[in-house]
Amino acid sequence: MGIHKIKAVEALKKIKIVYTGDSNNNIANSPLAVSAILGLDFTPITPKEIFA
């Protein structure tokens, strides 16, 4: 990985990524997977009614 890519990932690790809405779909799963691979802080926020 090039030095510019490493610096970009390190910069991303300083922020928190938050997804609001239905987190039981592919729209939420994609950033979740990328965050897990890169070690980023990802938090999905979903209303209780969706899981009732």
- pLDDT on residue 21: 86
15/10 Cα distance (integer angstroms): 10
- pLDDT on residue 51: 67
Q: What is the full DSSP assignment across 1-52? A: --HHHHHHHHHHTTSEEEEES--SSHHHHHHHHHHHHHT-EEEEE--GGGG-
pTM of the model: 0.65
Query: Which residues span the domain enclosing 25?
Result: 3-51
- pLDDT on residue 27: 82
- pLDDT on residue 31: 87
Q: Which residues of the chain have pLDDT under 70?
A: 1, 51-52
- Domain total of the chain: 1
- pLDDT on residue 30: 87
